[in-house]
Amino acid sequence: MGEEKAKLLPFYLVIDVSWSMDGPSIDAANDIVPSLLEALEQNPILSDKVRFGLVDFSDDARVQLPLCDLLEPNLFVPTLSTRGGTSYGVAFRLLRKQVELDVMQLKADNYSVHRPVVFFLSDGAPTDEEHDWRSAFAELTQYDRQSKVGFPMYPNVIPFGVDNADPVILQSLIHPATGNKQMRMFLMDKGNTPAEAIKAMAEILISSVLSSGMSMANGGPGVVLPDPGQLPAGVSSFTADDEDFL
Amino acid sequence: MTQPLAIDGAGLRAGAELGRGGQGRVVEVLGGAGRPAGEPLVAKWYLPSVDLDAAALTRLVAWRRSLADADRSTVDDIAAWPRAVLLRHGRAAGVLLPRVPPRFSIPVRLPSGSAGQVLSELQFLIAGPDLLTRRGIPDLDRPVRLRVLARFAAAVAVLHNHGVVLGDLSVKNVLWSVAGGEPAVYLLDCDALRLTGTNPAVRQPNSPGWDDPAFPGTQNQQSDRYKVALTVLRVLARDFHTRDPERARAALGREFLPLLRAGLSGRPDVRPAASAWREPLSTLSEEGM
Amino acid sequence: MSGTVSGGRHALRDPRPEVEPVAIGDPGRAARAVIPQPDRRFPFRPAIVLDGVRIEGSSDAGGLEVRAASRRGLSHQYYGTTRQDEFGFLVTQDRRWLVVSVADGVSAGEYSHRAAEIVTREGCTRIAGLLTGVAPAALDWNAVLGEVSAVVVGQVRAELDLPGADLRQVADRAAATALFAVVAVDPDDGGGRTVHVMSLGDTSAWLLHSERETRWTPLQAVKNAGAAVASSATAAVPLIPRELPPPVAARLDQDGVLVLMTDGVGDALGGGTGEVGDHLARAWQRPPDPLNFAAQVGFARRSYDDDRTVVAVWPTPAPS
């Protein structure tokens, strides 16, 4: 065995660009990456490690910004625009392929790669068949350590729901749902506007990238999400077994 | 004035179409606004179906410009490195490349019987004498072949030292020339190369028969090393398909056969660097003369 | 000793070389951009400690040359938190053995640097005490680690005023890996020395032979080899496992170097076959000036921002 060039922490932001996101919501979503970039510019410890990718999805899913170092010079951050329905299945399938390609390539280039983190932002219920997106999600997230069946590079998934997103469905996308590395989801409070909620979620995402990065860099447990009591106004967080949003 | 990394393709004056392939088409650039002056250029326009990573393409263009003058000139001598990203309606859709220097074309008899020019691909150093005779392509003797291979290994070594991964390295995207004395090589399809730790602009699967068993789903400098060894073997054995190092025993001798075996090893960490081939190949070419 | 000052040996030395920052590969942004912040909680704990000594052998045999450096990593500099690594070494009363230790305080614990201090100091002291009665091969490592853990628990309870804290609560605040090596000061009849190593957690011991084809030989399994994605779980004092990893005995030849390091260096070194391994092997062919040694331990390399600690032990040639 040789040596590694660097230890990298991959984050993917997956954004629903269905028609319903049009207007202030998509504008707020488009502000997420520039804000994250600004935060990373202030933190050379993390910017040496964080790799970030942007995927959007509607009836199809597209890699809008392939996994990269956001502070790389000449990087062009794309502007997302809305285009159709809400197929969760295509998003999960593209992610499965992309995470595997990215992690395999970085490992082949002798980088040490941490388990990826996916932030999944949606404003509506999936428009594709449930069995279809459920099986795509299982292919993305399921792995059995004993039998080594499944996807060993499975990401941690943190769902963000605004507007008409279905809390029960998003809750089922929290991964891992249980155990000591349990993730959470974040939902817009009733009465808030989606654009305001997305701005709050951008804050959560950035604080999570910064604190997870710091934790992982220090050999900590991995993904760190903001304390439920410390969230920006207008959003709340839930675990996979909470029921109080019903 | 700083040359922009991306230019609008609409401003280019297009000439003849030079080629068409699975990824897109290549046209001659006769002139136009914003293009780097002083060298013949071609425009490669990707098909809409090609998944193009604009950031990666920009990275390649910017990387070349960031080199010291001497390094850039070395890279330009051995590789058709992207000069600028081409935009269509504001989106990356193509790439401006240098035109292949004339010394890397050879006159041939086309299968139709008429005379033409083809790029002098490395595969012509593998093809058997019958085919070469039929096409009117010169058959190089072994010392010259070895010198071409030494230049090839040196070219890969230069790029590897700069952290470049060649990826889909095969005898179709390496050109050679013996015109004007010293042999030279020239690498094509450099828009598909990548810098270590970053994505390629376009994902290029391995050419058939040029895969590395140790890296079935990905490409890196270690798979490049394997392909350098495979190229040495196939050119010396004059066999398009072999992976058996013993076939080059006569050409490499007892001294250098272990280098080839190591290069083709299933254990990537024992494969010699591309630079390790330069001396042995040069030495052998001198012995043979 | 009335009226006389006992002195040490002296020799003409080369003038101190200039110390230059070292980079291996891509240094990353942090190495040039981070402005080191003090840790206001622990103002008297230095960010860099280093040492360089020669342990004299008995009259006609060689001795050992020791270089040690512990540096606060870029991450701790940036966040204004103290260095959590530590080293320690001492020679037994009978001057037969050198005992060396390196410890890495577990990041999550606010007082883990205390655990690292206790591991290295108490550990070396206790091992040296035991070596008056037993050979290194017969050391009772369970007793050593158990006693060291007990000191950590006692000190943390006292210093943090947590008299009722249980083992887990103490470990949450202060925990450290523990690596010990015992080396004979004099070579044996074969001209080499047997080295005994005990390692709990991911601090690692290596034999370095700059002139050989395999330069870095690990004295324990390499971390994360073969894992799909990297993980960082590690064992640490005071939570010692019921079954300790077996102690390792290895041979330190006259042309070898024993190198003990925390994972701040070990992670970058990997298996030792890359550019980090090459660079350090070249730098440590001979014992460098201690200031240069500290600069080499602090090499810049993208994303490797953890604390760094190395103790290296060179056999000195027997006087001819």
pLDDT digits (tens, 9 = 90+) for B242-272: 999 999 999 999 999 999 999 999 999 899 9
In Å, how far is A108's CA from the nearest CA of chain B? 6
Task: Report the alpha-carbon distance of residue A18 to residue A13 in Å, rounded.
Answer: 16
ipTM of the shown complex: 0.85
**In what side-by-side order are the strands of the sheet with C48-55?**
C48-55, C64-71, C308-315, C257-261, C204-208, C216-218
pLDDT at position C319 over 70:
no
CA distances from A75 to A27, A65, B53 (A): 20, 9, 11
Whether chain B has a CB inside 8 Å of the CB on A3: the answer is: no
Side-chain half-sphere of B149: how many Cα atoms within 13 Å? 35
Whether chain C has a CB inside 8 Å of the CB on A181: the answer is: no
pLDDT at position C318 over 60:
no
Task: Report the alpha-carbon distance of residue B79 to residue B188 in Å, rounded.
Answer: 6
**Residue scoring higher pLDDT (C235 or B256):** B256
Give me chain A's average pLDDT, please: 91
Task: Report the alpha-carbon distance of residue A29 to residue A163 in Å, rounded.
Answer: 13
Task: Report the alpha-carbon distance of residue C38 to residue C94 in Å, rounded.
Answer: 41
pLDDT reported for residue C151: 97
pLDDT reported for residue C317: 78
pLDDT at position C2 over 50:
no
Give me chain C's average pLDDT, please: 90
**Residue scoring higher pLDDT (B253 or C261):** C261
pLDDT reported for residue A212: 82
Candidates A4, A62, A70, A74, partner chain B, best to mutate (most B CBs within 10 A): A74
Size of interface A-B (CB pairs under 8 A): 54
* Topology given in CATH for the domain delimited by A7-238: Rossmann fold (3.40.50)
Q: What angle do CA C287, C66, C232 make, to 5 degrees?
A: 100
Q: Using the beta-carbon criterion (under 8 Å), do A106 and B197 form an inter-chain contact?
A: yes
Strands B84-88, C64-71: pairing is unpaired
Cis amide leading into B143 (omega within 30): no
Candidates C232, C267, C273, C280, partner chain A, best to mutate (most A CBs within 10 A): C232
Q: A63 contacts in B (CB within 8 Å)?
A: 51, 53
pLDDT at position C3 over 60:
no
- Average pLDDT, integer, range C27-52: 96
Q: Using the beta-carbon criterion (under 8 Å), do A108 and B55 form an inter-chain contact?
A: no
Q: Using the beta-carbon criterion (under 8 Å), do B58 and A108 form an inter-chain contact?
A: no
Task: Report the alpha-carbon distance of residue C217 to residue C195 in Å, rounded.
Answer: 13
pLDDT digits (tens, 9 = 90+) for A202-244: 999 999 888 887 776 666 667 888 888 889 988 999 999 888 7
DSSP-derived letter for residue C61 is S
The nearest alpha carbon in chain A to B91 belongs to A78
Task: Report the alpha-carbon distance of residue B156 to residue B162 in Å, rounded.
Answer: 10
pLDDT reported for residue C13: 65
Collapsing DSSP to helix, strand or coil, C139 comes out as coil
User: What is chain B's Cα-based Rg?
Assistant: 19
Whether chain B has a CB inside 8 Å of the CB on A179: the answer is: no
pLDDT digits (tens, 9 = 90+) for C77-136: 999 999 999 999 999 999 999 999 999 999 888 999 999 999 999 999 999 999 999 999
pLDDT reported for residue A88: 97
pLDDT reported for residue A221: 61
Whether chain C has a CB inside 8 Å of the CB on A59: the answer is: no
pLDDT reported for residue B1: 47
pLDDT reported for residue B47: 94
> What residues contact C105, with CB distance under 8 A and at least 6 apart?
C84, C85, C86, C112, C113, C114, C115, C116, C174, C175, C176
Length of chain C: 320
- Residue ranges in chain B whose pLDDT is less than 50: 1, 289
* A234 φψ region: left (φ > 0), alpha (ψ -120 to 50), beta (else): left
In Å, how far is C301's CA from the nearest CA of chain A? 8
pLDDT tier for residue C73 given thresholds of 50, 70 and 90 = very high
A touches which chains (3+ CB pairs under 8 A)?
A: B, C
pLDDT reported for residue A246: 60
- Average pLDDT, integer, range A40-45: 92
- Average pLDDT, integer, range C51-70: 90
Residue C290's closest CA among C48, C98, C75, C117? C48
Candidates B198, B204, B211, B221, partner chain A, best to mutate (most A CBs within 10 A): B198
In Å, how far is A76's CA from the nearest CA of chain B? 7
pLDDT digits (tens, 9 = 90+) for A61-98: 999 999 999 999 888 888 999 999 999 999 999 999 99
pLDDT reported for residue B130: 87
In Å, how far is A70's CA from the nearest CA of chain C? 13
In Å, how far is B220's CA from the nearest CA of chain A? 6
Q: Are B94 and B24 in contact (CB under 8 A)?
A: yes
In Å, how far is B43's CA from the nearest CA of chain A? 21
Q: Using the beta-carbon criterion (under 8 Å), do A105 and B199 form an inter-chain contact?
A: yes
Q: C26 contacts in A (CB within 8 Å)?
A: 5-6
Whether chain B has a CB inside 8 Å of the CB on A76: the answer is: yes
Residue B169's closest CA among B248, B229, B113? B229
Q: Using the beta-carbon criterion (under 8 Å), do A108 and B215 form an inter-chain contact?
A: yes
Least confident of B99-108, C97-106, C214-223, C231-240: C231-240
Q: Are B46 and B202 in contact (CB under 8 A)?
A: yes
